[in-house]
Amino acid sequence: MKQSELLVSGRYLITMDDDNRVLEQGALLVRDAMIVDVGPVAELARRYPDADKVHEEHGLIMPGLVNVHTHAAMSCFRGLADDLPLMQWLQEYIFPREAKLTGDMVYVSTLLSICEMIRSGTTAFADMYLFAVDVARAAAQSGMRAWLGEALYDFPSPCYGELDNGFACMEALFERYQDHELIQISMTPHAVYTCSPSLLERVRDMAGAHGAIIQIHLAETEDEVVTCLERYGKRPVAHLDGLGLLDERLVAAHCVYLTDDEIALLARRGVKIAHCQESNMKLASGTAPAVKMLQAGLCLGIGTDGSASNNDVDMFGEMATVAKAHKVARMDPTAMDAATTVRAATMGGAGCLGMADTLGSLAVGKQADLIVLDLHQPHLTPVYNPVSHLVYAVRGSDVVHSMVAGRWLMRERKILTLDEEAIMAEMRELARQIMAM
Ligand SMILES: [Zn+2]
């Protein structure tokens, strides 16, 4: 039997391939979950006359964005408390409420965040949170790609209680999702200041046994560096290196406080960086040396962090901030140009997750994870350079279609896999409970 084929075409096709090709009147052919051809629409239409066709006259087709660091379920705390120092915000507002979270609350909150991610162009995300089994349940239902794990730390968790149960919980997740096409389980120790050396060694061994990536917050604040020096006599990067965690499977979020030597060490070890500029700005943590990290050859992706410290998961908004923040921080308008920023949000993210051969660009042999934007709007007219628009003019709400592994998740801004109205209604109800906590 002939396999189903779909020809997707539009005014621009941004490939993000090795040659950074941008095709005008470009098209790609999707067969099952894969991209099997890329080229001019006239040519592909001739070559595949029987394929189903989706043509957007004013459409821009590009790889789906990869959000390499978030806590999706924190959407339930969006706007609950802002404009506070990190520790006061955490201790007075977030931690007391997180202690009372349930799996169902995490499930609904993750679904809400996923709706927002699909609507704003994200097709894959890396998550760290409590009740990961419910994060996975939500992700599986949505059809998005996700890398996720149970947040591990020394103190008792509202999800699993004592730490041993947390590792048991992780084993169960590995077992349950070992053959899932879209969900990958990763180890997610919270940070060096909340995880003992023995916890981190156990994480390292379990990740090794399962060939999983490890996500951790690293060198986020100056306080973290001071605490780590006091406790272990080493800065966070050296501390993790001593424990054998620095390798190509580690995705380190934030990395704001790094010396040049630490950047060089992370590059030698092949560590991946999740750059979360808006969160670092909102909590006044600082600006990560992203330009230096890229110059050192580090693989750098972009993450929104959770919706309580951003306060959204819109990767287009994040890209605009990343590009501008580094220009002003370095007083150099050429820093973090548009092409570099889009590459970080696509191929960079894929590389962070060990998926550079599978995701991140629109090329033959890769998974059909793509989005289509509508350029037929005042704020996107005229178009001299479509890549410039992606960073400096596009908004998440310009995304009209979204596809993961050859399956449409959104068409004409309607999410096909989830009931958005019901999810928003449940969140409004949930917010009343959270206010009363
Ligand atoms: Zn985070």
Tokens of 259: 């010396």
Q: Using the mean position of ligand 1's atoms as its centre, give its distance from the Cα of residue 398 in Å.
A: 26
**Does 56 have pLDDT greater than 90?**
yes
Q: Using the mean position of ligand 1's atoms as its centre, give its distance from the Cα of residue 25 in Å.
A: 39
Q: Using the mean position of ligand 1's atoms as its centre, give its distance from the Cα of residue 385 in Å.
A: 33
Q: Which residues on neighbouring strands pair with residue 430, listed in sequence order?
A: none
Q: Using the mean position of ligand 1's atoms as its centre, give its distance from the Cα of residue 162 in Å.
A: 22
The answer for residues whose C-beta is within 8 angstroms of residue 56's C-beta and 6 or more apart is 9, 10, 11, 372, 374, 400, 401
Q: How far is CA 255 from the centre of its chain?
A: 16
**CA nearest to 257, candidates 227, 237, 281, 231:** 237
Q: Using the mean position of ligand 1's atoms as its centre, give its distance from the Cα of residue 74 in Å.
A: 10
pLDDT digit string, tens, across residues 210-242: 999 999 999 999 999 999 999 999 999 999 999
pLDDT digit string, tens, across residues 14-39: 999 999 999 999 999 999 999 999 99
**CA nearest to 302, candidates 257, 251, 368, 337:** 251
Q: Using the mean position of ligand 1's atoms as its centre, give its distance from the Cα of residue 253 in Å.
A: 7
**Amino acid code (one letter) for 333:** P
Q: Using the mean position of ligand 1's atoms as its centre, give its distance from the Cα of residue 218 in Å.
A: 10
CA distance 351 to 66: 10
Residue 137's CB: how many other CB atoms inside 10 A? 18
**Does 2 have pLDDT greater than 70?**
no
pLDDT digit string, tens, across residues 364-418: 999 999 999 999 999 999 999 999 999 999 999 999 999 999 999 999 999 999 9
Tokens of 105: 């609350």
- Helix, strand, coil percentages for the chain (3-state, nearest 5): 40, 25, 35
Mean of the per-residue pLDDT values for the chain?
97
Tokens of 365: 């042999």
CA distance 82 to 337: 30
**Does 1 have pLDDT greater than 50?**
no
Q: Using the mean position of ligand 1's atoms as its centre, give its distance from the Cα of residue 339 in Å.
A: 25
Q: Using the mean position of ligand 1's atoms as its centre, give its distance from the Cα of residue 71 in Å.
A: 6
Question: How open is the CA angle 236-237-240, to the nearest 5 degrees?
Answer: 85
Task: Say which DSSP state 254 is in.
Answer: E
Query: 420 pLDDT band (50/70/90 cuts)?
Result: very high
Backbone angles phi, psi at 426, to 5 degrees: -65, -35
Q: Using the mean position of ligand 1's atoms as its centre, give its distance from the Cα of residue 8 in Å.
A: 35
Query: 437 pLDDT band (50/70/90 cuts)?
Result: confident
Q: Using the mean position of ligand 1's atoms as its centre, give its distance from the Cα of residue 151 in Å.
A: 10
Give the pLDDT confidence score for residue 85 in this predicted structure: 79
CA distance 305 to 351: 18
Q: Which residue has the tokens 């704003």?
A: 120
**Does 64 have pLDDT greater than 70?**
yes
CA distance 41 to 47: 10
Q: Using the mean position of ligand 1's atoms as its centre, give its distance from the Cα of residue 6 in Å.
A: 37
Q: Using the mean position of ligand 1's atoms as its centre, give its distance from the Cα of residue 383 in Å.
A: 35
Q: Using the mean position of ligand 1's atoms as its centre, give its distance from the Cα of residue 231 in Å.
A: 22
CA distance 234 to 254: 18
Q: Is 365 helix (H, G, I), strand (E, B) or coil?
A: coil
Q: Is 299 helix (H, G, I), strand (E, B) or coil?
A: strand
Q: Which residues on neighbouring strands pair with residue 401, listed in sequence order?
A: 372
Q: Using the mean position of ligand 1's atoms as its centre, give its distance from the Cα of residue 217 in Å.
A: 6
**Does 96 have pLDDT greater than 60?**
yes
Question: How open is the CA angle 38-340-374, to the nearest 5 degrees?
Answer: 55
Q: Is 228 helix (H, G, I), strand (E, B) or coil?
A: helix
- Asked if residue 164 lies in contact with residue 145, where contact means CB atoms within 8 angstroms, the answer is no
Q: Using the mean position of ligand 1's atoms as its centre, give its distance from the Cα of residue 30 in Å.
A: 34
Q: Using the mean position of ligand 1's atoms as its centre, give its distance from the Cα of residue 421 in Å.
A: 28
Q: Using the mean position of ligand 1's atoms as its centre, give its distance from the Cα of residue 254 in Å.
A: 8
Q: Using the mean position of ligand 1's atoms as its centre, give its distance from the Cα of residue 46 in Å.
A: 48
Number of helical H runs and strand E runs in the chain: 17, 17
CA distance 170 to 429: 30
Q: Using the mean position of ligand 1's atoms as its centre, give its distance from the Cα of residue 168 in Å.
A: 23
Q: Is 296 helix (H, G, I), strand (E, B) or coil?
A: coil
What's the Cα-to-Cα distance from 258 to each of 196, 250, 370, 395, rounded to whole Å?
A: 21, 16, 34, 31
Q: Using the mean position of ligand 1's atoms as its centre, give its distance from the Cα of residue 35 in Å.
A: 33
Q: Using the mean position of ligand 1's atoms as its centre, give its distance from the Cα of residue 148 in Å.
A: 13
- Asked if residue 437 lies in contact with residue 115, where contact means CB atoms within 8 angstroms, the answer is no
Q: Using the mean position of ligand 1's atoms as its centre, give its distance from the Cα of residue 42 in Å.
A: 45
Residues with a beta carbon under 5 angstroms from ion ligand 1: 305
Q: Using the mean position of ligand 1's atoms as its centre, give its distance from the Cα of residue 106 in Å.
A: 16
Q: Using the mean position of ligand 1's atoms as its centre, give its distance from the Cα of residue 262 in Å.
A: 21
Task: Tell me if the pTM is above 0.85.
Answer: yes
- Asked if residue 142 lies in contact with residue 124, where contact means CB atoms within 8 angstroms, the answer is no
pLDDT digit string, tens, across residues 271-301: 999 999 999 999 999 999 999 999 999 999 9
